[in-house]
Amino acid sequence: MKVGFVGLGAMGVRMAKCVLRGGFELQGFDLSAERLTEIEAAGGVAVSDAAAAARGADVLILMVVNAAQARAVLFEADAISALPKGGLVLSSVTMPSDDAAAIGEQVELAGRMFLDAPVSGGTAGAERGTLTFMTGGSDAAFDCAEPLMRAMGANLFKMGPKPGAGSTMKMVHQLAAGCNLAVAAEVMSLGAHLGLPPAQLLEVLNVSAGGSWMISDRGPRMLTEGESAMSAVDIFVKDLGIVLDAARAAKFPAPVTASALQIFLGASAAGYGRHDDSQATRFYEQLGGKKVRSEGES
């Protein structure tokens, strides 16, 4: 099976390497020359644009930032025409479910299959090949994608027979992830402000009932400057915005999500939008809180 891959960011490049380790051919495209060099070193082929990544592939994997970029890759760069008829677009893009459904319909009208398959597990899961895939699409699309998803992930879920179902599950997941991270930032910031050593505070939390996956994963990164982003602050600005838009459309109250979004918006407005999302702590720092991070650590 030949695989095209567009979007070799912190998650994407690790996922692509898992595909290569799984024995698949891969041709990848990203705007970063560094990422292209990295994928070539791992045994893949670097190509010059999105259409070239799709050309001759059986499956085109998308790991771009949002629905607008997915549309640009497929229909403006015309990767959909370069992908052979009957081929599959495996979209792991986090986007509103309505966008996933609309893009899926357009792909299927073009004579290709589409699987709405966002992921969870972070860069660590992408590195290890233990991601969780939340999918929406036909059985045929799932069956075609399954060998690749198993190369990249440990948990595969069918959420519904049509595109959009996977994105709905990812949206609800991001509510949980974003709110948990906002709590982690507040916990670490308050503890530091009250004079507790942040590293020791983290150590206690990680063996106590108040701990969480987000505290254990993001906590160590909160002790750094967070300039090298595994997942940026602005990702949660986007994703929690998606949650609130969906809740508003459904007339469903989401007050915890709304509060969590303010923390990420505050950190972004302070100039840390492209920093690692652990730097949600900067919101509290801007309010006069003491630093969580250690001086000089990056």
**How deeply is 207 buried, as exposed, middle or buried, from its count of CB atoms within 10 A (0-12, 13-18, 19+)?**
exposed
pLDDT average, residue stretch 80-100 = 98
- β-pairing, 59-62 with 119-120? unpaired
pLDDT at 298: 46
Catalytically annotated residue among 2, 170, 251, 290: 170
Q: How many CB atoms lie within 10 A of CB 54?
A: 30
pLDDT at 110: 98
C-alpha 24/C-alpha 39 separation (Å) is: 13
Per-residue tokens: 128: 């290890």
pLDDT at 228: 85
Number of C-alpha atoms within 13 angstroms, CB side, residue 138?
11
Share of the chain above pLDDT 70, in %: 99
pLDDT interval class at 295 (50, 70, 90): low
pLDDT at 221: 95
pLDDT interval class at 230 (50, 70, 90): confident
Mean pLDDT (the chain) is 96
* Residue 297 pLDDT > 70: no
User: Which of 95, 90, 98, 7 lies closest to 47 in space, CA to CA?
Assistant: 7
Q: Which residues pair with 27 in a beta bridge?
A: 4, 45
The per-residue pLDDT for range 242-280, each reduced to its tens digit, is 999 999 999 999 999 999 999 999 999 999 999 999 999
Domains of the chain, CATH where assigned? 2-162 (3.40.50.720), 168-286 (1.10.1040.10)
Active site residue 238: no
Contacts of 266-273 with CB under 8 Å at 24 or more apart are 267/233, 268/233, 268/234, 268/237, 272/226, 272/233, 273/232, 273/233, 273/234, 273/237
pLDDT at 294: 79
* Residue 98 pLDDT > 70: yes
Q: Are 278 and 196 in contact (CB under 8 A)?
A: no
Per-residue tokens: 231: 């997942």
The per-residue pLDDT for range 54-88, each reduced to its tens digit, is 999 999 999 999 999 999 999 999 999 999 999 99
* Residue 3 pLDDT > 80: yes
Contacts of 46-49 with CB under 8 Å at 24 or more apart are 49/77
With a CB cutoff of 8 Å and minimum separation 6, the contacts of 182 are 259, 260, 263, 264, 280
The per-residue pLDDT for range 151-172, each reduced to its tens digit, is 999 999 999 999 999 999 999 9
pLDDT interval class at 229 (50, 70, 90): confident
